[in-house]
Structure 1
Amino acid sequence: MANHRDSVQRVGAYAICINEEAAILLSRFAEPDCRWGPPGGGVEHGEHPADGVVREVHEETGYRVKVVRLLGVHSNVWHSPDAEVHATNLLYEVAVVGGCLQNETGGSSDQAAWVSLAELPERRHTELLDVGLDLFRCSPPEGRIDVTA
């Protein structure tokens, strides 16, 4: 069990990108996890989260994107083998402006795909994906979805 010395703060930036065919751009965690989620990841030191999401989407999917709007923030605590991690994840709506779909090589994800929104219930996916879609659909003024309710 982590103690106070083992507390870590992690800031992430993730993309919700839905096309005209009602498909969402997703990235799949590499083995052993293999869950699908919104492309994105950790923001680098000194990097603005909006720039981080653009970089991460390109790394994980091959697409160049632009930020359309900030959807909101998801905050949760999880335990790694070494620490208790407080993740603060900013979710952005993004639009594709170039590039082509390709899988990341040598990273934390191994596949990228456009997935029909109707297919999502059958796919193993992250809670962050559900939160991002709720933020996209509801646009709560405080930018927060309560996942414990």
Structure 2
Amino acid sequence: MNLYPIETSIEGQAAMVIRAGRQFAYDWKGYPKLADAAGTVEQTTETIGRLVAGDVFNQLDDASFDHLESELAHWLNSINPKFCELAMNGRTGEAIFNEDEQTKEVRQLIFKYLSFRTARQAVMDRVAADRAIKQLYNGCTDLGSTSV
């Protein structure tokens, strides 16, 4: 029995991560500048392949995602440092108003990446919480008297 709506169930969240990972991977492929963003071209190809296949929780990709995040931030800062400065100072409205088309594309790619990465981490945290609760219950042999 599912006690939560599908959006908040672990299965529903995992499905959203898989969709977000696939979408991001397809978009990532469209940017040759990011060909080796995950560390090497081979690592990037493998990571994109796993995301497209729905293997979004593979720990082999953790380092690739860290490299990619750095590359995306560096890329945005190199094409529009003023945008980054405004955004970092909380002036996002002004930053978006002053962005050019390339900045907008990179910003949208970063947003898709961050949405994927945040959703992925939320599912991993829920799995870790479930594991911790099970360990807690398994460690409790005497719960005292329980009356119904």
Query: What is the TM-score of this pair, normalised by structure 1?
Result: 0.23
Structure label with greater radius of gyration = 2
Query: What is the TM-score of this pair, normalised by structure 2?
Result: 0.23
Identify which of structures 1 and 2 has the higher relative contact order when contacts are C-alpha pairs closer than 8 Å and 6+ apart. Answer: 1
Which is strand-richer, 1 or 2? Answer: 1
Which is helix-richer, 1 or 2? Answer: 2
